[in-house]
Structure 1
Amino acid sequence: MIEQHSATPIDPTDLPEVISSFLTAQVARDAETAVPLFVPDAVVTDEGHDFHGLDTIRDWLTNAAGEFTYTTEVTSASRIDDTHYDVIHHLEGDFPGGVANLHFRFNLHDGLIKTLTIEP
């Protein structure tokens, strides 16, 4: 577990390109652009479920939250170290509760996403 108290706030425009590209593709629900940004054995954890490997991550990207309409805005970003970043998204929409702030916690390896954990 990465110590979050050691995080340094950064401007979201200063995130590594691989993270910025993923975030753009994820909002557009563009799995074909997003999937190559992950290492082959990557793991995404979302809503308590793990998605292992590129094919499963592609399915997750294609289907995640598809039944809801929402807006998302990056509200802050932090650098923990050279490979760990935390990006906070503010979501508003027709999902249960209607409003959420989610952490997208990235772990990079060789310039690609090794793990992504999405949690409140």
Structure 2
Amino acid sequence: MHDNQPRTSTPDVLPEVITRYLEAHGAHDTATAITAFTGGATVIDDGNTYQGTEEIEGWLGRSATQFTYTIQLTDAEQTDATHYIATHHLEGDFPGGTVDLRYRFTLRDDLIERLVIEP
């Protein structure tokens, strides 16, 4: 963390479990990130589907090492009782260099049951 850069605070609308996942994922802390998901959770990222703890843990590990990038939360909203959207701006060495992605979360029993990441 660079002290000279302003730190964006997570909008209050996001529940603790989503904030925990996003912070852990940003810190490449797969062990903490995986605790935010239900055992039978589904993640859809870049058109690929990862089902269950083992596949999601593998995806988390790969996404942490495949590219170097910064991620900034730019918007967050709750669409109903169990659905949240967190929009992020990414810059890095991946194809295209910059992208805005929506992380669409579905919660069940205060854990992430489904996460869809798409532009």
User: Which consecutive segments of 4 or more residues in structure 1 shift more than 3 A?
Assistant: none
Aligned-pair CA distance for 1:103:
0.3
Identity %: 48
Corresponding residue SS for 1:39: strand
Give CA deviations for 1:71-111 in whole Å, capped at 9, x if unaligned.
10000001101100000000011111101000000000010
Aligned-pair CA distance for 1:67:
2.6
Q: For residue 40 of structure 1, what is the aligned residue in structure 2? A: 39
- What runs of 5+ residues in structure 1 fail to find an aligned partner? 1-10
Structure 2 counterpart of 1:115, one-letter code: R
Q: For residue 50 of structure 2, what is the aligned residue in structure 1? A: 51
Contact 2:39 2:53 in 1 (8 A): yes
RMSD over aligned Cα atoms:
1.1
Correspondences of 1:27-106 after superposition (within 5 Å)? 27-64=26-63, 66-106=65-105
Moved more, 58-67 or 27-36: 58-67
Structure 2 counterpart of 1:62, one-letter code: G
- What runs of 5+ residues in structure 2 fail to find an aligned partner? 1-9
For residues 56 and 68 of structure 2, what CA distance do their matches in structure 1 show? 21
For residues 14 and 90 of structure 1, what CA distance do their matches in structure 2 show? 18
Aligned-pair CA distance for 1:34:
1.1
Aligned-pair CA distance for 1:12:
1.7
Q: Which has the higher contact order (CA 8 A, sep 6+)?
A: 1
Aligned-pair CA distance for 1:65:
5.5
Report how many residues are paired.
110
